A and B are shown apart, each in its own frame.
Chain A
Amino acid sequence: MARRDVAIVATAQRPNEVGSTLTSVELILPVINDVITKVGIERQKIGFWCHGSCDYMSGQPFSFVAAVDAIGAWPPIVESHVEGDGALALYEAWVKIQTGECDVALVFSNGKTTSGPIDRILNLQADPYMVTPLWPGFDSLAALQARACLDAGVLSEADMAEVAARSYRDALNNPIAYAKENVTAEQLLARPYTTAPLRAHDCGVPVDGANAIILAAGDAARGLAGRPAWIRGIDHRIDTQRLGARSMVESSSAAIAAANAGAGDDRIDIAELHAPYTHQEILLRRAMNLGEGTHVNPSGGALVSNPAMAAGLARFAEAAESVFSGSADRVLAHCTSGPMLQQNLVCVMEGD
């Protein structure tokens, strides 16, 4: 079966914030309405709705069912949910369109990260017998990975601070970014360790956020966007869940996913990498062979706003918008999931 041409035709994101008291439905509803209004499509034309979120974060099983209130279930709709980042829901929607069952899909995600201790909550996703009973938290696990990289000479604490400083400065130009600061790497290095060898700036800032994206195939995409962001390649790979059996100093799953998505076939203008930790951005750049000519995370990335379960789809939104505006021709969007870059999804998009 020939692969169908599929593009992102519209995106919507709400400003990232801390301490939101809105319900998940209230977080989602505005971005759903916003993204539909942007393309001016009738709701009945949306053949598939796909949602990414995490029940552990909501503190109740099947919490995602309530999200249907934000999209409306009458007339009947076809919908699905992924227990994970919205970018993984986008992958499911892309597959759905490939099957020919629909031409237009709406993908959305939400993360209320600040309503509980997110570092502890995400630990529930780890190995239930060997890791969860110790309650290490994702920051501590990332810190183990960072130390291994420092020991191996793969990167330095100054390299990590450069990533943070660039992200905080770039965020000054992003109205929906949460943390932003005109700061240098030297200033950041003078700040104390939180979970050594990580400092506060090495860890993505937990925030509350939501976003939505519309995908469309072929002529439908051309009718909905002036310059669609065509998906040229997309791939999702996973490293072993055994933390000790995984390389700490490279990301083989990210490298495979990037190669299969065609990242190396031509230059990449902009790469939006979902790196919740500074050293992980460096590992991802190496795994994907991203060179000096690629602007990494002009949005500020997940370091400045990390709405868990929505931060990956946010990368897709940011990358697609740069194609819509004409500021980039060939872009890469990435999503990670699990501790220490366990899962990696890579997508390459191009404008006409």
Chain B
Amino acid sequence: MAYMKRSPWIIHYDGSSCNGCDIEVLACLTPLYDVERFGIINTGNPKHADIFVVTGSVNEQNREVIRNIYEQMPQPKVVVALGICACSGGVFRECYNVEGGMDKVIPVDVYVPGCPVRPEQIIDGVVKALGVLEEKRARMKSGAPAEATV
């Protein structure tokens, strides 16, 4: 069976964000932007997902949940950090309960800043993630681990 490199399945999780980026993720799926026409589906099951779209600045309680979702996803997998909160903590950076950035918890491949991110930016980020996914798949095919060691 041919490998479908243009129709990734996505899992979305709100890692302590304000909702703004999350409703824009949903807006991508609905008629104006409609990424579902390319076969991109928002799934609720981590084991079905290729791309982890995650928002928010991550608080104490959410850390384990995010890590669980990430670890349950099969290789190759790509993490897209959506919004300035997921990139660096954003306006909440100095709050007492936030980690300040998704990369403190899981490895992030694509950063999409913005407050909130626009649907066009989200789509752009996911397209970029497709390239990363392809690289990781090629690496796995050659027998190397999907995640490049730095």
Answer yes or no: are A and B bound together in one complex.
no
